[in-house]
Chains A and B, each alone.
Chain A
């Protein structure tokens, strides 16, 4: 066992990081928010980088890598709030032609366990070429143009535009419940990576600001009340990192543990880290943090979007409780 990031993984991480930092600086996020929340050229370049074909076998033109690498890459995408249905498209790479190349954008809607409150809210409907719908019966593909939907004027996340639809056509079935369930767990792992990235980037922003900003004649980062907020942000980030890497490693090697259990843990703690760190980042920025100009809000809003896809925190807490109950029963049986 060597749980540390390998040299190759580090190189991949650094490559994607510098790409994302170059292409998605803060100003670009503001432009994207103005311009509908999607950038097709960026999407093509992400595809070229291998974001969607990472886990595809090399013989099929992919990079032949696994979930460890995927969560690292998705953390980098999360760090710069890269827009678009990234996880859905990576999941769909072997189901839909053209995804690997970035020519076909695949989005989705997860209705597992029953629809959420209110109408269906479809993300990036204007940008996707294929819409996948996942529910307890399996996975189907829908033609986005065949859906009767109207745009939501003010989505919570300006980089995740929404449409509302009261009903959906049935579409074409692609997979049964077992494969859908597997894809859902894999999707939750990818989102956990993005959430980890949000937890990281909001900590970096908070620390940089707190070192610069002066009040009472000194940098606010020297005040213990704020130092301790940021120390807690660091702990949440490291807890999330450990759980997210463990989820990646467990998906890649099922012999090391239960993947559903590892992924639920990762999704829970990464959601918590992203939301709490984004919140703390805004708090540390004070009045400026409440303005549109400081980009902290993009990360908080994206964290909300990611938190409630492929199982929200309540569902993953229930899943985690199910695994805990199994261990409790084993304990009782061992004593009897």
Chain B
């Protein structure tokens, strides 16, 4: 039960910190959120810089261009990236944080060699094609069909809520390869080249007013069968590997950012007065902020525990659901206190001088997605109560098949 970073961790930290101190200011500010082409260029440009400096794929195998460093060095990495205010992982999210790790765990040698180095170098952007209009929380009810035809699968269906769709080169797509099997047993995991004929991507504005989401329509898309990851019809198990990565450590840098958001809110509360009373002198508000800071410290300790356990086990455990559930709801609670503190200033999403209004108002909206994506909070509670506490499962007839609507 030791929290001390090793000497080599600290050496790594010092080198990374020194590099970031020069590289971050030199890289410039991010482009506007609506300019997808520029966003791809910016986010992948930063990934390239990381790669060239040797800071890409901290925990990925060396043979694919990674550093193969320990889980604790990975934590150091997240701490320093956030501390330096480095560009957000952005369009590289799916490739770096779940597609890539899933290939490392389950992909063929050819798939790994083909994709992993390119993801690390910022040459390949991935999106996710899991959800469908009728398969959200009940993901295994997905109906996108993949019919084997020679060396190809012919894929038809409709995917929804895909982030980074418009700029992705590849997608991790779940498709139904056996419509007669029980619904969890007829799914396969495909690497989908997004430029294949028959793919149409339509933007789907989010409640932020941004086009972060898209819908993907697949009409008889021929996908080479060698793009399947793992065995045919074993996609559900692989999906759970992917989702555990997504729920486990993928949010680590966002958690550190959240610590900074709370510090910014505190700095604001110490400065701002209402009716002649400084916000920070309101004991109720101050203690609420203090309590949130304590919860963030507890969360970071929880991540450390979960990372050490994952390192021992190879992949994140089901306990990742507890981290995800706590983090996402805590994030919302912090933004909620921020909005209360801002009052009417929170109604304005334009920057107001010396106020964190744009940041907090934006985050308070953005954070609504956190308790929905990667399995809603309610699904996480089902997972915890069934798989960890051993309570009776939700009705899930084993013979249930995914029937076309």
Contact = CB atoms under 8 A, between A and B. Distances in A.
A235 B381 CA distance: 9
A2 interface: yes
B391 A222 contact: yes
B322 A234 contact: yes
A268 interface: yes
B298 A240 contact: yes
A202 interface: no
Given A4-B309, A245-B1, A256-B3, A317 B287 contact: yes
A261 interface: yes
B206 interface: no
Interface string B285-323: 011111101110111011011001100100000010010
A222 B393 CA distance: 7
A128 B261 CA distance: 48
Contacts of A266: 298
A277 B312 CA distance: 30
B266 A328 contact: yes
Interface in A1-28: 1-6, 9
Interface in B255-278: 259-260, 262-264, 266-267, 270
A256 B4 contact: yes
Contacts of A219: 392
Interface residues of B, number: 56
B137 to A, nearest CB: 12
A3 B392 contact: no
Given A228-B381, A314-B287, A234 B389 contact: yes
A320 B312 contact: no
Contacts of B9: 1
Nearest to B76: A1
A238 B322 contact: yes
Interface in A194-222: 203, 207, 210-211, 218-219, 221-222
A232 interface: yes
Interface of A: 1-6, 9, 68, 72, 203, 207, 210-211, 218-219, 221-222, 224, 227-228, 230-232, 234-235, 238-243, 245-246, 248-250, 253, 255-257, 261-262, 264-266, 268-269, 313-314, 316-325, 327-329, 331-332
Contacts of A316: 290, 294
Given A227-B385, A243-B298, A249 B2 contact: yes
B286 A239 contact: no
B319 A238 contact: yes
B3 A231 contact: no
A241 B299 CA distance: 10
B313 to A, nearest CB: 10
A218 to B, nearest CB: 7
A62 B295 CA distance: 34
A325 B295 contact: no
Interface string B229-259: 0000000000000000000000000000001
A2 B5 CA distance: 9
Contacts of A269: 294-295, 298
A228 B6 CA distance: 39
B378 A228 contact: yes
A331 B319 contact: no
Contacts of A228: 378, 381-382, 385
18 contacts: A2-B308, A3-B304, A211-B390, A222-B391, A231-B380, A234-B389, A238-B322, A239-B322, A242-B304, A242-B305, A246-B304, A255-B4, A257-B3, A316-B294, A320-B291, A321-B287, A324-B263, A325-B270
Nearest to B267: A328
B325 interface: yes
A325 B266 CA distance: 6
Given A268-B291, A317-B287, A253 B322 contact: no
A61 to B, nearest CB: 24
A31 B16 CA distance: 61
Contacts of A325: 266, 270, 280
Given A3-B2, A253-B4, A321-B287, A210 B391 contact: yes
Interface in B372-405: 378, 380-382, 384-386, 388-394
A73 B209 CA distance: 53
Contacts of A211: 390-392
Contacts of A313: 291
B263 A331 contact: yes
